[in-house]
């Protein structure tokens, strides 16, 4: 019996089809990859497999069976969730209880699978399998980096040894080494666990998945067909990966949709707070930044400067302090020591920032879900940011222009829960641009984007910095993203090199 069977599934919401006539099957011990552009419906399909529909979605056609159960019924949901199925969402930090330590949450996940001997050893084994150090089990989610939170959520999905793992972008927030280790972990799961793997990472899919399906506009448009059974491998550092060879779609499946070329949008002066004529020698200068959590020092005397129109990349291992640096630069976290200056003028830390100082440095966070108010549509979020710019004496950009800049025309009335992970990332970027700051701090801003959307966003940032003098700091694990920068710094042991 197949672990998953989806037949003719259609999901509708907000007067549009999100998923249309999708059929697939996943056999025991197999790994099925699901690829496609941002907003194609991959996450909605993954949610449907566990019987979850976001608000506003309904099942229009078809059926889903998991281990023989209908997950949309109360009895079927109880039979599969947390017992037979482990799930890792695209925004792992939002799936962790902020009031409980990580170890306690892994133990809670384990209690859903009675009969396992030595629970403490099982929790330790799950943490070790994702390279989560034992001392992190005593931390709360807010004390973890994005990559550490991702590994903690993956350990929670693995700890009960489920029959089915549903993983939505499990490597997006990980550095190259951890990405390789997670890939090897998935390859070594064995015949007892089937995996539905949603990913934009073509290298991971190529090395891990037995079969890969591709979605576009809510439909399955192509299949890569069966590949060699994966074995543990050493995955090289990401590079610009050529697109897979074209595969003829089955006769009953529509031909692959034509994907438009990246959008080219003229950049009005109001899209950013600076212009070439107003450039000074240095936009942002940070000196002697020392910061940490509790007794642990994360940043130890960090110096960084960004010139007008310059893009600086900050790379480093997961947990090295990259996001802490970004938050300090943006004034969201006060360091223990250090100074920051914008255009040669010292800027106070959070408590003292007023007026233009509050929007001088803008931050695009790594956790795109928690950064947006779930009760506000996109238009309200961007308008609110524009008002902040106006209060600071800057000319706010037009709403339609902002959405065009990030490739999301027509989404102004949607709520965060109605967006894919990649769409939420781009909305957060548009909101940061709406504040018309001098410097933009982008924390893994392309981590959940497909290759084409990533290129489009990076092209937009290049245009903004070259035409308007915007300074950019790219915090990233991706060599492809870092290659766009004028300078790259490595953060290790609290220092930039």
Quick: pLDDT tens for 358-367.
778 889 988 8
Report if residue 29 sits inside a domain. Answer: yes
Residue 223 is predicted with a pLDDT of 65
At residue 44, the pLDDT reads: 93
Residues in the chain, pLDDT under 70: 112-117, 223-280, 349-357
- Per-residue pLDDT at 161: 84
Q: Helix H segments across 130-188?
A: 146-158, 176-187
CATH number (domain holding residue 381): 3.40.50.300
* 279 within some domain: no
- In angstroms, rounded to a whole number, what is the distance separating the alpha carbons of residues 336 and 182? 35
User: Is residue 418 within 8 Å of 13, Cβ to Cβ?
Assistant: yes
- Domain end point (choices 203, 221, 239): 221
Looking at residue 245, what is its pLDDT? 37
pLDDT value at residue 110:
79
Q: What is the 3-state secondary structure (H, E, C) of 393-425?
A: CCCCCCHHHHHHHCCCCCCCCCCHHHCCHHHHH
pLDDT the model gives residue 262:
39
* CA distance linking residue 470 with residue 5, whole number of Å: 50
- In whole angstroms, how far apart are CA 248 and each of 155, 201, 213, 254, 346? 37, 21, 12, 10, 60
Domains: count for the chain: 2
Q: Are residues 337 and 473 in the same domain?
A: yes
Domain match, 207 and 322 both? no
Q: Is residue 346 part of a domain?
A: yes
User: Is the same domain home to 293 and 416?
Assistant: yes
What pLDDT score does 22 carry?
95
Dihedral angle sign, alpha carbons of residues 36, 448, 476, 454: positive
The reply to whether 188 and 336 lie within a common domain is no
In this structure, is residue 123 part of a structural domain?
A: yes
Q: How buried is residue 468: exposed, middle or buried, by Cβ count under 10 Å (0-12/13-18/19+)?
A: buried
Q: Are residues 160 and 293 in the same domain?
A: no
**Do residue 289 and residue 215 come from a single domain?**
no
Residue 22 lies in a domain: yes
Are residue 344 and residue 489 in the same domain, yes or no? yes
Residues 291, 203 share a domain: no
What's the pTM?
Answer: 0.72
Domain for residue 274, yes or no? Answer: no
Distance CA 153, CA 84 (A): 17
288 belongs to a structural domain? yes
Whole-number Å distance between alpha carbons of 480 and 208: 21
Q: Are residues 20 and 116 in the same domain?
A: yes
Is there a contact between 36 and 228 (Cβ–Cβ < 8 Å)?
A: no
* Predicted pLDDT at 350: 63
* pLDDT score of 253: 34
Q: Which of 221, 249, 269 is the last residue of a domain?
A: 221
Of 188, 215, 189, the closest CA to residue 24 belongs to 215
Check whether residue 366 and residue 442 sit in a common domain: yes
Q: Tell whether 59 and 136 lie within a shared domain.
A: yes
Domain membership of residue 370 as a residue range: 284-496
Same domain, 294 and 393: yes
Is residue 188 assigned to a domain?
Answer: yes
Q: Which of the 8 DSSP states describes residue 53? A: -
DSSP labels, 212-238: EEEEETTEEEEE----PPP----PPPP
User: Which of 221, 244, 264 delimits the end of a domain?
Assistant: 221
Contact 205, 33 (CB under 8 A): yes
pLDDT of residue 272: 53
């Amino acid at each position: 019996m197949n672990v998953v069977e989806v037949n003719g599934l259609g999901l509708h919401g907000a007067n549009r089809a999100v998923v249309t006539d999708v059929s697939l099957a996943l056999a025991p011990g197999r790994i099925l990859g699901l690829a496609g552009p941002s907003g194609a419906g991959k996450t909605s399909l993954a949610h449907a497999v566990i019987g979850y529909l976001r608000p506003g979605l309904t099942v229009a056609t078809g059926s889903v069976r998991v281990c023989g159960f209908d997950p949309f019924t109360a009895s079927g949901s109880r039979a599969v969730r947390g017992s037979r199925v482990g799930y890792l969402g695209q925004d792992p930090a939002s799936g962790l209880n902020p009031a409980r330590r990580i170890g306690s949450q892994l133990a809670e996940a384990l209690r859903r699978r009675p009969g396992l001997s030595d629970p403490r050893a099982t929790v330790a084994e799950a943490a070790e399998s994702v390279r989560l150090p034992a001392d992190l089990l005593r931390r709360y989610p807010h004390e973890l980096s994005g990559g550490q939170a991702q590994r903690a959520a993956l350990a929670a999905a693995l700890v009960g040894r489920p029959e089915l793992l549903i993983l939505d972008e499990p490597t997006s927030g990980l550095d190259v080494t951890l990405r390789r280790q997670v890939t090897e972990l998935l390859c070594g799961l064995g015949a007892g666990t089937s995996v539905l793997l949603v990913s934009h990472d073509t290298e991971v899919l190529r090395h891990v998945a037995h079969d890969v399906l591709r979605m576009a506009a809510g439909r399955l448009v192509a299949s890569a067909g069966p590949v060699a059974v994966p074995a543990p491998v050493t995955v090289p550092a990401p590079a610009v990966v050529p697109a897979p060879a074209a595969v003829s779609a089955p006769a009953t499946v529509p031909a692959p949709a034509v994907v438009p070329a990246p959008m080219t949008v003229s950049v009005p002066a109001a899209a950013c707070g600076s212009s070439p004529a107003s450039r000074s020698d240095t936009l942002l200068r940070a000196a002697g930044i020392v910061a940490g959590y509790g007794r642990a020092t994360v940043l130890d005397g960090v110096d960084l400067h960004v010139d007008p129109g310059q893009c600086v990349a900050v790379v480093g291992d997961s947990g090295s302090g990259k996001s802490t640096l970004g938050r300090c630069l943006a004034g969201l976290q006060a360091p223990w020591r250090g100074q920051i200056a914008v255009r040669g003028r010292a800027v106070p830390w959070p408590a003292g920032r007023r007026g233009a100082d509050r929007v001088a440095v803008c931050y695009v966070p790594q956790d795109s879900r928690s950064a947006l108010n779930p009760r506000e549509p996109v238009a309200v979020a961007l308008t609110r940011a524009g008002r902040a710019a106006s209060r600071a004496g800057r000319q706010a950009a037009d709403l339609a222009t902002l959405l065009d800049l990030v490739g999301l025309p027509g989404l102004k009335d949607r709520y965060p829960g109605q967006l894919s992970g990649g769409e939420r990332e781009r909305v957060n970027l548009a909101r940061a641009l709406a504040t018309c700051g001098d410097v933009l701090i982008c924390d893994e801003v392309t981590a959940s984007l497909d290759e084409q959307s990533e290129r489009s966003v990076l092209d937009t940032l290049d245009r903004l910095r070259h035409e308007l003098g915007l300074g950019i700091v790219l915090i990233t694990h991706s060599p492809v993203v870092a290659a766009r920068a004028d300078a790259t710094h490595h953060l290790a042991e609290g220092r930039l090199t």
